[in-house]
Structures are given as structure tokens and as C-alpha cells.
Structure 1
């Protein structure tokens, strides 16, 4: 083992020891089901640790609390499904990176990331004029086959892929965008400042999907991982569509938070 390996192991040992037991109750009580208590213990532990910190192994938890391995595995699986932990084959279970929550107000990806202290970025995959298919034409109020500008990008936060995005705009209004430099910044800002467009409202639909094929490669996730797909239509003051876009976000890095009111 090299000195560097020894130093790294020395640095990680206290963290692993803390995760393995120092922050955990010594035993379960008899007042509530063991699985329910284990769930609370793990959630509290995750709150106390940092992203990337390891959790105790299934065997350690099962032995410590005298519960079945299947009970422990079920709770870890639930935490992984909620995006709180990440399993790494052959290494263990680790606290996941914090998710980015969508703001309630209409804002661009760039604005969202900056508001959360993250550096937004883009990898442009394609930018040019194409014929609108039936879906795009319908959402933009155009005839099928009409010319639209398509901008396809991977959106990043602090250099890591966060979302895959495709935006479509009527070419008769925004055709110049197809001839310009690849769009790396905010589409909203470009439409407002470069073309004088205004879109005070947007219609948006969100669906849960699996990320597969090329999309999984671009977002650097395993095929079949959960994703959130946004379909957004920007609408001007005259109720005319300005642009239609879909965005596929990594489910392990992005969430939606809503505050709702119950009407009397």
C-alpha cells in the first residue's frame, strides 16, 4: 500500500466509523415496529452525514438491531428509490448528492441553477432548422411540416449532466437563431434580449419516465433510472405559443416542491 493510500484510508476511517455506529442508537425500542424505527434511524443518519459519506452495511445494521437482512435491504431500497442514497456495486451504499428543487415561478434552467449556487452549463448537440412533426406543430399552433428552429442540449450543473433539453421555435420569427453561434446560455434570456419576445405564462406538464438508450448515456446514468420529463409551452400576452420545449431531468438530482392551498 502506498503512503497516499494509507493517508486516504486514515482520513476515511473516522468517517466510516461514524457512519457505522457513532451516530446510531445502540438498540431499538419495543414501542414500535422494527422496520419503522430503522427507517427513522437511517433518515436521521443521512441528515447528519454529507453527500458521498458511506452508510453502514446491511449486515452491520442487521446485527446491530437484531433485524432480518431483508428488512434492512427493503429500507435501503426505499431510500435509494427516493434518491437519498446511492448504491455502488462492490463498494456499498452512500449518501446521495442533494437534489435540486424546481422553483414555483417560471424560470430558466440557468436561473434555477444560479439561484441554488450551482454553475449552469450546456453541451450543444444540435442547432438548426427542421420540419415540425405533428406534435411540435400542434403545440406551436403551426401546420405540420412548417419550419422550426430546434436546439438540442445537455444542461449541466457544476459540470455534471442534469438534464437533456430540446427546444422548438417558429422559424419565421426566430430563424436567425439557427445561423448563430451554439446557444450555451439561457434560452429565455436570448429570446427576451435578442428577439424582444415576452412570455408571462407557460403551460407545463410533468411525467415520470425511465431514462433509457442514448438519453441515459448523455445523462451518465444507468439505463432504467427514474427521470422527470417536462413539456413546456411558453405563451405570450396574446395567448400565442412562443416556444415549445421538453426537458428530461435526472430523477436522482431533481425534484419538484409545491405549496398548495385547499379551496373552501
Structure 2
């Protein structure tokens, strides 16, 4: 294809455009027409409708509620930052909640010991929580902590609040994080905890956090629904005139 060639518009993209315009006139929570109704309205095959609906789901314009499809609310937009996403969401006027899934006692394997700079076999405290905004489950966060550094955490920490704030109350100052971001699909357990379809694309954020002395303080794995979350980042040039 040359630079002057017009890109081919696929049939499902035409249907997607028509459905986008339909959605513009609807309100969040309103039931969306069924696939058969859409296929009949636009005189297209059901498979064409499915492809268009798949794009709408990924874009966060509609969402599944059991066998029903409804108009979705706008995606949650949060900064890609070192601090707590709970506090960032609240700063953006969103209600937030963290639901405890489980506390688990583990022992560091070779990989985790290297990441946290602790001995192989050292005790690890794992905290798993679901992150919700405005009543929608959008993230599953699993944090592994060197147990010896956080005595009594399980008994005293209010799991619906910010873990970072709890750490700071213990005199731990965040100095640096090393993050990696990729896309993935959830497994059956993850999709159930996030009440999401197993085909929903996810953002996978892996993080190692360091304190003011350069000592690792946590290893975190965060899984966020790509149909409900958008992350933003502001970057500045390091070049000087």
C-alpha cells in the first residue's frame, strides 16, 4: 500500500462507527441492544456484530452484566505514579474501596529473594486486595512484603486503606520504584475476582519499591482492567539548551 492509498474499512468497523453514534445518545447503565437486534438493524452477520462489540468492550464503551450488555461509564483515568492509586483516585473525585482477598504466609524463593535483597527462605507476608472505584472492580493487587520488616502488620493494618500510608507511618520513606508494564489476559480466578470476562485485556504492572536507603520494601503485581482503566504519564526532557 502506498502513502496515497486509502485504508480498507472492514464491515465490522462500519458497524462499530454506527454503534458509537448510538452510544453517544445513551446514558451509563442503560441496556444495550442484543447482538441479534443489531444484526437485523444493520443487515449484517452476527459475527460482524461480535467483532464490533468486542472493540466496544475493549474501549470501555459497554460492559457485560451476566448475559446483558449495558452502556459503561467513562474509564477511570489515573496518573502512572509512585504513590498510592487510592489517593490518586480520591484526588480525582472518585470513590474508592479496597476489598481484602487474603493474607498469605510465604517464603522467599530465589527470584523473590533477589528482588527484595533478602535470604532465600526468608518469611514473606503476601497481601491480596481488589481495588474498586465508584463501585466497579478495576484492579487486583498482590503485594509481597519482607515479614520481618512489618511486624504486626496483619493485625493492625486496615486493609481498605492505603498500604503506602501505613508504611510511611512506620517511618518508611519511598524513594524510588522500578516498574514494568505489559498487557495480558486474566486467568479464571482473576477474571472472577474482577467480575470481568476472561477475554478482557488487562494492564499488568510489576513493581519493586525502594526506601530512602535504597533497600527494597515491596514487590507488587497489579492487574488492572483495560476496559475500565487508563493510565497517563507526564514526562520532561532532560536536555538543556
**TM-score under structure 2 length normalisation:** 0.78
Which fold has the larger relative contact order, with Cα–Cα distance below 8 Å and residues 6 or more apart in sequence?
Answer: 2
Q: In the alignment, which of 87, 93, 96 is matched to residue 72 of structure 2? A: 96
Residues 26-71 of structure 1 deviation map (CA, whole Å, 9 limit, x = unaligned): xxxxxx9584554434334434432222445556655665666554
Aligned-residue RMSD, C-alpha: 3.2
Residue 218 of structure 2 is matched in structure 1 by 243
Report the CA distance between 1:262 and its aligned residue: 8.6
Report the CA distance between 1:186 and its aligned residue: 0.3
**Greater C-alpha Rg:** 1
Residue 178 of structure 1 is matched in structure 2 by 154
Preserved contact between residue 226 and residue 251 of structure 1 (Cα < 8 Å): yes
Aligned pairs for 1:208-227 (under 5 A) are 208-227=183-202
2:55 equivalent to 1:78 = yes
State the aligned residue count.
231
User: SS at the partner of 1:98?
Assistant: coil
Counterpart-to-counterpart distance in 2, 1:48 and 1:139: 50
Report the CA distance between 1:218 and its aligned residue: 1.9
Q: In the alignment, which of 29, 33, 43 is matched to residue 52 of structure 1? A: 29
Counterpart-to-counterpart distance in 2, 1:88 and 1:127: 29
Preserved contact between residue 157 and residue 166 of structure 2 (Cα < 8 Å): no
Residue 256 of structure 1 is matched in structure 2 by 231
Aligned pairs for 1:126-205 (under 5 A) are 126-127=102-103, 129-193=105-169, 195-205=170-180
Preserved contact between residue 78 and residue 85 of structure 2 (Cα < 8 Å): no
